């Protein structure tokens, strides 16, 4: 597909240069048609019964497969959530953090990650990266790590200044669990969750596995946390190709 063909899928682009690639990103015509069709069928046929549930499960499986390909992973490592914020909340809630645990994040996070981090019950240490380039930002994050750090929670691409953080380097350097908000990266830049030993993004777009992950959360149906040694990602079910 060419850029012109891709742009033609978004009618709003005929009128404006649409610069919001986040929660309020533009809708493509095929997307709105599928939503409208499903809503019409729900209204006419109801929303219950085995055929209905089977169809829903099939659609979810197909979506997991498409997203897995985008993330260089396999479908069983993808969980669908209703939003990035939801995915981050699932990961943070699953860790069961307490005030004597620390989470390191940055001052450039979207509330979709920052909200769950601050609501997690952990003590939050904030690295000041807003004015920094990618390498300096990693240094600033590492400088906030202490013996009590349980999780690093950062975006792959910072929504406020477009800086791309090398989350792989962060993981390699610290060995700590990393929760990556991939809302601004998945679909826009290459993402390979296989290369991350623990956690990733995505676009969901958030996912995590960590040493502190409880058994209950590991087997969470949302799948936002992974069994030891595996990687996973959670993706909003209505995920856009780019946010
Ligand atoms: C970096 C980042 N994280 C999280 C979000 C929130 O996404 P959602 O609406 O899927 O919760 C956005 C939305 O723009 C974002 O840019």
Distance from C-alpha of 27 to C-alpha of 67, rounded to nearest angstrom:
18
From first to last of its 243 residues, what are the pLDDT tens digits of the chain?
999 999 999 999 999 999 888 888 899 999 999 999 999 999 999 999 999 999 999 999 999 999 999 889 999 999 999 999 999 999 999 999 999 999 999 999 999 999 999 999 999 999 999 999 999 999 999 999 999 999 999 999 999 999 999 999 999 999 999 999 999 998 889 988 876 655 544 444 333 333 222 222 222 223 333 333 334 455 554 333 333
Tokens 């240069």 belong to 17
CATH 3.40.50.2300, applies to 57-229: no
Closest-CA residue, ligand 1 atom 6, reads: 112
Question: 72 vs 7, 44, 61, 212, CA distance in Å?
Answer: 25, 39, 16, 25
Q: How far is ligand 1, taken at its centre, from the CA of residue 76, in Å?
A: 23
Query: Helices 111-118 and 84-95 meet at what angle, rounded to 10?
Result: 20
Distance from C-alpha of 198 to C-alpha of 48, rounded to nearest angstrom:
37
pTM of the model: 0.81
Where along the chain do its domains lie?
Answer: 57-229
| DSSP symbol at 22 | S
Which amino acids bring their CB within 6 angstroms of ligand 1?
Answer: 22-23, 83-85, 110, 112-113, 155, 159, 181, 183-184, 236, 243
Give ∠ CA 73-3-241 in degrees, rounded to 5. Answer: 35
């Amino acid at each position: 597909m060419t850029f012109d063909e891709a742009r033609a899928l978004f009618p709003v682009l005929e009128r404006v240069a649409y610069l919001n690639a986040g929660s309020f990103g533009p809708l493509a015509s095929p997307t709105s048609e599928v939503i409208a069709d499903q809503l019409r069928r729900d209204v006419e046929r109801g929303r219950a019964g085995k055929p209905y549930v089977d169809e829903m499960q099939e659609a979810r499986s197909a979506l997991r497969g498409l997203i897995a390909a985008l993330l260089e992973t396999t479908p069983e490592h993808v969980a669908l959530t209703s939003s990035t914020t939801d995915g981050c909340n699932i990961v943070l809630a699953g860790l069961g953090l307490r005030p004597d645990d620390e989470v390191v994040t940055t001052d450039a996070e979207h509330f979709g990650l920052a909200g769950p981090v601050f609501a997690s019950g952990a003590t939050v240490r904030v690295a000041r990266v807003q004015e920094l380039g990618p390498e300096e930002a990693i240094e600033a994050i590492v400088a906030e790590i202490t013996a009590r750090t349980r999780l690093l929670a950062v975006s792959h691409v910072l929504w406020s200044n477009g800086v791309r953080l090398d989350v792989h380097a962060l993981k390699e350097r610290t060995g700590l669990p990393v929760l990556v908000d991939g809302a601004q990266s998945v679909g826009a830049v290459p993402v390979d969750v296989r290369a991350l030993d623990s956690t990733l993004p995505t676009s969901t777009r958030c996912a995590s596995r960590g040493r502190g992950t409880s058994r209950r959360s590991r087997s969470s149906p949302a799948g936002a946390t992974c069994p030891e040694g595996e990687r996973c990602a959670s993706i909003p079910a209505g995920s856009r190709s780019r946010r």
